[in-house]
A and B are shown apart, each in its own frame.
Chain A
């Protein structure tokens, strides 16, 4: 399986702190994506990083990718209570996008 696996499974922090979530995967990839899911809702795409990129920023989000270690991290800076959600990494199988596989997710709880 080339699923991404996140850690930690759950993370509880205070508002204003940074949250870091990690993802590992098993096979070579073209890109890695991060998604967010509010409880009971559909997933929302946050950011995509290509295999030839090492770091990418979008607002308070910072994603890194280490293809040698087959791992990625998502950093949310200055967290807010509204960031409370589950975060998933996703990778495409070698079929080129026809099979995007999600990891188990990290549940983030930000306390106000």
Chain B
């Protein structure tokens, strides 16, 4: 069983539309992350989340982005009004422990903004 499952695997949307990407980790993970990878480029940190609040966020994670874990299982990334440059692979990652804990990545959600 994978440590984390992401849905959808691919979403195509029109510019200006809202998008919600979902991540479902198995139950013993405490730390949650979203990363973005524009095609062929580096894996960029967006945000980390622990104990129902944001722990760290990057400059990419502006007011158009939000995260939540409303029901204690799904961890979601919402982009309120998508732009063309939001087209990328979005990866959810989870971790059991800080410091020495490895990150477990989902297979990603490919977002295409037209």
Contact = CB atoms under 8 A, between A and B. Distances in A.
Interface of A: 30-31, 33, 35, 37, 40-45, 48, 50, 88, 90, 92-93, 95-105
A37 B105 CA distance: 10
Nearest to B104: A45
Contact of B43 (A31, A43, A96): A43
A102 B42 contact: yes
Interface in B65-101: 89, 91, 93, 95, 98-101
Interface of B: 31, 33, 35, 41-45, 48, 50, 55-56, 58, 89, 91, 93, 95, 98-108
Contact of A42 (B33, B102, B108): B108
A44 B99 contact: no
A44 B102 CA distance: 9
A50 B100 contact: yes
A48 B102 contact: yes
A96 B97 CA distance: 10
A98 B91 contact: no
Contacts of A90: 103
Nearest to A44: B105
Contacts of B35: 102
B48 A98 contact: yes
A99 B42 contact: no
